[in-house]
Structure 1
Amino acid sequence: MGPIWWTLVSVLASTAVEECAAVAKLQMVQHEGTYSKTMSFRFNQTTEHVLVFPTSQSMYPYRISAWSSDALVESPVLLVVRQEREVLSWQIPFVVDTSTRDGVVHFHNTSRTLCHNNMLQITKSKSFTRKLSIPLSQNFIVALSTSSMVNVEVSVIVEEERNFYLTENKKYSIAVSPSETKYYYYKFLDRRSTTAVVEITSDDDVCLTVSIQDSFCPVFDLDKDITYEGKYQTINRKGGMSIRSKEYPDGFFLVFVAKADNYECSQKHSLLPRGHKNSNIIAANRTSIVNFSIVKGINGKDYGVASLVTLCAIGAFYVFAIVMVFAFTRWGTLRSYLKSKSRDITDTLEGDADFVVEPGITAEDKKQLLTNNKLTVNLLARAPTKDRRRSYNYLWHILSIAIFYSIPVVQLVTTYQRVVNRTGDQDMCYYNFLCANPAWGVSDFNHIFSNVGYVFMGILFLCVVLYRHAKIPNNCTGIPTHYGVFYAMGIALTIEGLLSACYHICPSQSNYQFDTSFMYVMAVLCMIKLYQNRHPDVNATAYATFTVLGMAIFLAMVGILNSTLSVWIVFVVIYSVLCVYISFKIYFVSFVFDGFKQLKKTFTSSDNKVEAIAPIKKSRFFLLIVANLINYAMLITGLCLYNSGVTDFGTFLLGLLMGNSVLYAVFYTSMKLVHGERICVEAIIYGVLGMAAWATSAVFFLDNATLWTVTPAESRQWNQECIVMNFYDKHDVWHLLSAPALYLTFMFLLCLDDDLVDKKRENITVF
């Protein structure tokens, strides 16, 4: 054996001797632990203190608190708790990672709750009370050690967690920090109650994670592992969770963990961050005072009663609406007209079977339309068969779009719901957690079911249009009634209910357009129908209309995903160009090229240039100027509201479209009165009832219970409790009231020109 080997052996031998000497120097000092008494120790790496606590028969678990101001991160104090079935350990100072790169926060005060040795027997006990009849025992040993070469002082106290077992309708107040996490246990005692709601509030902005975990040990009560089990969500000032008894038949743990910073509750963590809403990421004090209580939720009977009452209310409205339709048909404005006309139906839903060649608009007709200051409907209703066929294109287009749009929507939101159920991540969906009643695998059944009104109102409107179509076929008098657009409006209302229900399966920043797309469609169809009444030959085709709608939805998507200044500039430019183009289309009765050509000819041949460029149709020109000013006012208002954080791009765009549809309806109704036409009693009744329904529903719509433009934790600050039958919240009431409001609005448009049904078209003014 050479000298190198002898050197290596000697080094290894000396190392082993040193390690044995170090082990020999380590002294294990055993102490008898005392409950509810502070025990202090001063020691270094040569000593390990072992606290052996006597067997306890208490039904309450114990909480160990340990603190030290001397311990350093480089040589921490290690605290190990050995129980019968598990080992719990942590260090002092307690190190928690922050959201910044390589950032950590140190805490010198720590405390943890030990899971009860007999937790399984406690949860399985059928007679769960404060005094259990089953035998209980808890045994544990606490070991303290450190690698510090200098003495450090550590204090330890072990106490019962007296508030560990939660009861209903009792308010609790606790202090939580990243190093002093807490959890409690709740069991469903009333078998008739199928749900429980945890209501949480806090007066500070410390970001918390709240978790619901099944009632078995160990409990994941640290920031790094709390998401491994059960359901969880981030909160700061308000939160809520609905728990079904069938998911946790033996009860559940309610776990509170404070985070080292506010990153996950701030706008910087949002998918769509908005700079003006940023909150402080790091706060000096990470201790949060949390107030919470558990209230009894609704049971299966309550679900059934609320659903049945809703369907009965819709049925009552059906009866009311059908009675109104038959009453107006028999005794209303159309009574004399229906008596004088043959009941032989020649115009049906399928349209005209035989193609009729109809004369188009000649060059002389265009000149008359461009120069005549007073136009009549007969000049723009030269091709009734073609116009009726074009109107049915709206029906077939919207049916096709609804099918191809809805299928991926249903697939996507169903996947979202399955992910939420499997992972327990309740930050994925923006529910009103204080009134989210789960059922049949969905987390928020009431917000889905409340959309049933849109579906039923859409079907009702389709039936009314079909009945009216059979009673009043198109003829040569009155406003040309193109039923295809009305059918499309009914389909849009029905699909809106289905898509809104899909959106509420998992409302979030990424699928808000599901809830609004067919609102855009309905707003545009209302404007199209009003314009079509007086301009049937030059009305926009279904192809052009849905192309523009597709562009609007695309812009809404871009604006939601990336609301930067450049996106807003592009939108303002496109919207301004569209307003100018539509204004020219309306002023020149759709013949924009011919109109400018005639204007150029007049300008070049006239000596008075000012008079040559003066508008021929002064009233129409003035009204278009007013409409454009109102549009720009809405645009500026929307930009200000967005900049203030009041609205978002999707809602802003929807507001523009709905504002224009309301503006056009008011203009159309006013112009009827100006031109000596009357508003029939049917339209007045439907209009008044519609405005009352809209005014009432708007009150509930404006009082938001969620806000998807912020983080999930910030959105929960808007959460509100149920207000109707402990089942519906204010947004549900908005659903239930806005559905009949839309039906009444559509009926108003359907009956608006009934006073002209037997009037010759050459006597009906175009405006």
Structure 2
Amino acid sequence: MEGTRQMMGQKASLGCAIPRFVWFLLLILIALVQPSWSITSNGGGSLAHQFDTLYNGNVTEGQEIQYVFQVRDGMNKSVAVRVEVSSSEAQETYPVMFVVTQQEGIMSWKLPFEIISVHKYDTVARTLCPMNFGEKPVNDVVIRVTCASPNATDYSLIVTVVNDFEMELSTRHTVMASPSQPQYYYFKFPEAVEAVQVRGHSNDKICATISVQEATCPVFDLLRNVEFIGKYQTLTTQSSIIVQKRDFQEFFIVLVVHPGDTKCSELKQGLSLGDEDLPNFGYEVDRIKNVTINIIKTASGYTYWFSTTLIVLFYMIFYVIYGLILLIQCCRRNEEATEARERRQQGKADSLEIREGGGTLIAQSHPCLWLIWRRILMKSNLQSTSCIGGTSFL
């Protein structure tokens, strides 16, 4: 009996030892086959990073560096968040990828930044779309940096707060933009204003596009999509766009600089290709353009139509009165001509009656003289008839 119990105890201990050994092997296997991808929160383990602080780092294959910025309520619409990144070692085959995750969407780009596949830039700055906080007082902006290069690639990142993001009426606002660093600002119609004129002025002749878009996300602030929605104009030195309140209660003013001036020139000189399509080698120095934007109150479309209609009615009334005057004068002239004809006819009848009356008296007293009188009357009638006929013929 005791031998049997010992054998059973050994089997039981062996049955307990086998699962432990199997679990140990599984743990070793998981450790060997686990992926090499790692996520690092840069910034010394802090929960949130600081605005207006420059962060430098290196990223390599299989690594994701994450930055978290907390945007609090009160920074909505009137204040915006802008992200600026750069990299001097990024390559076309192994670009550095930046992915920005917000409440209502995702924005991404890479370095080197390409425009029309030939213009390359090592610095990019983008303004994030304002957030709708609702009941949540704090929203996170998460920026992830990755690269597939086997070698460490440098980068720098800074997130700033645009305090003058909301523009005011009749206040000049100077904006600086470049092909890889577009800008946009926010404007909301005051209650007593029905239409405004967005004016742009620049001292340089660098080609740019200024656009007015409804204040919704996403914002079309790139050269390839700035003309998709809203109203836009090309800009060298001056531009003007009329915006009515019935079209946009609130809107963004977007400024995008072109890498060349072909879009703003009527004639392409020299080469058949435009400046924006010419091949480029290496990184380009940004074309910096300074634009002063001023939003002023202007007459609404209803006012324009009312003024135009009033002027047209004035001229119509003038022409109607002038036509009535002409018609009255014509009628008076016809009446005067009719009266003149009647007077002439009445005068002839009286003359003939006098002549015939005198002839009757002569015929009764002197028959011979009567015959002479008749001949005289006949000759006078023939002469008058020939004169009247000639006048009517002429």
Q: TM-score, normalised by structure 1?
A: 0.35
Instruction: State the one-letter code of the partner of 1:240.
Output: S
- The answer on whether the counterparts of 1:118 and 1:137 sit within 8 Å (CA) in structure 2 is no
* Whole-angstrom CA distance in 2 between matches of 1:21 and 1:290: 56
After TM superposition, the structure 1 = structure 2 runs for residues 463-612 of structure 1, keeping only pairs within 5 Å, are: none
1:261 aligns with 2:260: yes
Deviation, 1:330, is 9.4
Deviation, 1:75, is 1.6
Deviation, 1:287, is 2.3
- The answer on whether the counterparts of 2:113 and 2:122 sit within 8 Å (CA) in structure 1 is yes
Q: 1:326 to 1:65 in 2, by over 3 A?
A: same
The aligned counterpart of 2:205 is 205
* Whole-angstrom CA distance in 1 between matches of 2:137 and 2:204: 39
Q: 1:225 to 1:338 in 2, by over 3 A?
A: same
Structure with bigger helix share is 1
- The answer on whether the counterparts of 2:244 and 2:301 sit within 8 Å (CA) in structure 1 is no
The aligned counterpart of 1:118 is 132
Instruction: State the one-letter code of the partner of 1:158.
Output: V
* Whole-angstrom CA distance in 2 between matches of 1:138 and 1:262: 40
* Whole-angstrom CA distance in 2 between matches of 1:300 and 1:200: 21
* Whole-angstrom CA distance in 2 between matches of 1:30 and 1:108: 24
The aligned counterpart of 2:26 is none
1:50 aligns with 2:66: yes
The aligned counterpart of 1:33 is 49
Q: Rg: which structure is higher? A: 2
The aligned counterpart of 1:175 is 176
Deviation, 1:169, is 0.9
Q: 1:208 to 1:300 in 2, by over 3 A?
A: closer
The aligned counterpart of 1:370 is none
* Whole-angstrom CA distance in 2 between matches of 1:343 and 1:255: 80
Q: 2:121 aligns with which of 95, 107, 110?
A: 107
* Whole-angstrom CA distance in 1 between matches of 2:319 and 2:108: 66
* Whole-angstrom CA distance in 2 between matches of 1:228 and 1:301: 27
1:219 aligns with 2:219: yes
Q: 1:64 aligns with which of 78, 83, 86?
A: 83
- The answer on whether the counterparts of 1:116 and 1:138 sit within 8 Å (CA) in structure 2 is no
Q: 1:189 to 1:343 in 2, by over 3 A?
A: farther
- The answer on whether the counterparts of 2:59 and 2:145 sit within 8 Å (CA) in structure 1 is no
Deviation, 1:311, is 3.5
Deviation, 1:214, is 2.1
Q: How many residues align?
A: 300
Q: TM-score, normalised by structure 2?
A: 0.65
Unaligned runs of 5+ residues in structure 2 are 1-28, 43-47, 277-283, 342-389
* Whole-angstrom CA distance in 2 between matches of 1:314 and 1:181: 49
Instruction: State the one-letter code of the partner of 2:85.
Output: A
Q: Secondary structure at the match of 1:302?
A: helix
Instruction: State the one-letter code of the partner of 1:293.
Output: N
Deviation, 1:36, is 1.1
* Whole-angstrom CA distance in 1 between matches of 2:324 and 2:205: 56
RMSD: 3.8
* Whole-angstrom CA distance in 1 between matches of 2:207 and 2:311: 39
* Whole-angstrom CA distance in 2 between matches of 1:310 and 1:247: 27
Q: 1:72 to 1:341 in 2, by over 3 A?
A: farther
* Whole-angstrom CA distance in 2 between matches of 1:41 and 1:328: 95
* Whole-angstrom CA distance in 1 between matches of 2:86 and 2:285: 19
Please list the CA deviations of residues 415-474 of structure 1 after superposition, one character each: whole Å capped at 9, or x if unmatched: xxxxxxxxxxxxxxxxxxxxxxxxxxxxxxxxxxxxxxxxxxxxxxxxxxxxxxxxxxxx
Deviation, 1:310, is 1.1
The aligned counterpart of 1:142 is 143
Q: 1:301 to 1:83 in 2, by over 3 A?
A: closer
* Whole-angstrom CA distance in 2 between matches of 1:61 and 1:289: 20
* Whole-angstrom CA distance in 2 between matches of 1:281 and 1:329: 70
Deviation, 1:284, is 6.8
- The answer on whether the counterparts of 2:121 and 2:285 sit within 8 Å (CA) in structure 1 is no
Deviation, 1:156, is 1.0
Unaligned runs of 5+ residues in structure 1 are 1-16, 98-102, 122-133, 270-274, 345-475, 478-757, 762-767
Percent identical across equivalent pairs? 23
The aligned counterpart of 1:409 is none
Instruction: State the one-letter code of the partner of 1:138.
Output: N
Deviation, 1:170, is 1.0
